[in-house]
Homo-oligomer: A and B are copies of this chain.
Amino acid sequence: MESGYKTRQREQILQLLLAHQEEHFSVDRIVDCLRAQQQQVGRSTVYRYLEKLVQAGKVRKYYIEEGAGACYQYAGEQSSCHEHFHLKCTSCGRLIHVECNYLEQVSEHVLAHHSFTIDHTKTVLYGLCADCAARGRA
């Protein structure tokens, strides 16, 4: 899998995501964070590079806020994330990795009964985590 040229901009974007793997970033936030470090990056460049990273499976793209835009989060070398599901809380943004035998059967069921091969690197189950649900946030 080719990664294309190595440029200052790409390096800095990737470093930012790597340094905060537990957080998600909007394009705006990425541009702002980098500028705060005296690192100028054009917005188009961010959009284009993130798209590449998403295609490569290194970054996940989320749609959390209703009206707002997409968010991105580093996904790591997906070897370990291949077989399990991801739950993303739409209220607090927390990402939960779930390793569960029962859920693994889901993939098999969907393939057997609906002829559909789930791609775990791109699939995210959206909803409310326990804390946010308890706090009554819909």
Do A109 and B102 touch (CB < 8 A)? Answer: yes
Which of the 9-residue segments A13-21, A31-39, A72-80, A113-121 touches chain B?
A: A113-121
A133 vs B113: C-alpha distance when bound (angstroms): 15
Write out the residue numbers on chain B whose beta carbons fall within 8 Å of the beta carbon of A125. Answer: 110, 116, 118, 123
Q: How large is the interface on A (under 10, 10 to 19, 20 to 34, 35 or more residues)?
A: 20 to 34
Q: How far, in Å, is A122 (CB) from chain B's closest CB?
A: 4
Do B128 and A117 touch (CB < 8 A)? Answer: yes
Main secondary structure on A side of the interface with B: mixed
Q: How far, in Å, is A88 (CB) from chain B's closest CB?
A: 9
Q: Is A126 an interface residue (CB 8 A)?
A: yes
Q: Is A56 an interface residue (CB 8 A)?
A: no
Do A103 and B109 touch (CB < 8 A)? Answer: yes
Q: How far, in Å, is A66 (CB) from chain B's closest CB?
A: 8
Q: Is A27 an interface residue (CB 8 A)?
A: no
Pick the contact of A115 from B63, B110, B118, B130 — CB < 8 Å?
A: B130
Given contacts A87-B110, A96-B116, contact A123 B122 (CB under 8 A): no
